[in-house]
Amino acid sequence: MILHSYLALSGILFTIGLVGVVTRRNIIMILLSLEILLSAANLAFVAFSQALGDLSGQIMVFFVMIVAAAEVTVGLAIAVVLVRQHGKSNADDLRDLRW
């Protein structure tokens, strides 16, 4: 049950992140909400690691953080390029790949 509260917490955080991704209009803010998603996953990993007595969960968190770092770097670079080209940072305006 105690694990359940950690998982519930992780779920709430994940939902907040998801709603943020879908709802925000600014691309930087979308990337920010993505970070919340990753953090929620991290929390779940660590909670399970403690519950099962296995350190692999925390190792996983370590690697998730590394990947998040790389992803944020590249993502922000792309965002910068997009804003430079289009002049505005509204996600709704970036729809060149439509049908």
**Residue listed under structure tokens 């709603």:** 19
Site for another protein in 15-34 (CB under 8 A): 15-26, 28-33
Across the strands, what pairs with 26?
90
- Contact residue for another protein among 13, 41, 85, 86 (CB under 8 A): 13
Site for another protein in 61-80 (CB under 8 A): 61-63, 65-74, 76-80
Q: Does 86 bind another protein (CB under 8 A)?
A: no
Alpha helix stretches (DSSP H) within the chain: 2-23, 27-52, 56-86
Cβ 23 vs Cβ 92: under 8 Å: no
Q: Does 41 bind another protein (CB under 8 A)?
A: no
Least Å distance, CB 7 to another protein, is: 4
